[in-house]
Structure 1
Amino acid sequence: MRSREEQIRVLADDFANPPEIYQMTEIAELHINEAIQRGRELERADPGQDTERLNWMERQCFPELHKLDQGWLLATDQVCRSSGQPTMRAAIDAAMNAENGQ
């Protein structure tokens, strides 16, 4: 699999020099599949972050995590700590960062 930087260079080149129309679908699938694979590898690369998130949640008073139409909402001790986040992990990270003043 190509590195992120290599993928960006190839994608930029494909935009600057479009392939033949019959090749467009094949090239798009290649880029999408590589991005999906890269995402899966990143998820597997750092399971310690999820452990850190779960440990943080366990230390909170009355932790609540809700998926709403506007995104994920996380509250602790009946106070909203983050809202509108695209993923559960992002909601927890935002709440952890808010607690740390970041």
Structure 2
Amino acid sequence: MRDARFDETIHAPLRLRICGLLRRVDRLDFALLRDTLGVSDATLSKHVRTLSDAGYVTSRKTASAGRSDARRVMWLALTAAGRTAFDAHVRALQEIAGPSS
């Protein structure tokens, strides 16, 4: 098992939820993530930027096959470093919580 490491960047409640949702998939549409979390575009963008600046999340825009206009879909994904940091953070939380009875 890898080492547990508490990560202040990931620990903020919304960023923890973002990482948790992204951890389960290869990538996720920004709009779907926003709607799932029930936050505004601006709020999600701010937290994604923080995670991106830490090297934990990448974003990529692609043309939307289902749209007739020029709007693009933004895809978000955890980087390898993001997956490692998230997993270590979860392990640290488990150590803090102690064994379940």
TM range, smaller chain? under 0.3
RCO comparison, higher one (Cα < 8 Å, 6+): 2
Higher Cα Rg, which structure: 1
So what's the TM-score if we normalise by structure 1? Answer: 0.25
Structure (1 or 2) with the greater helix fraction: 1
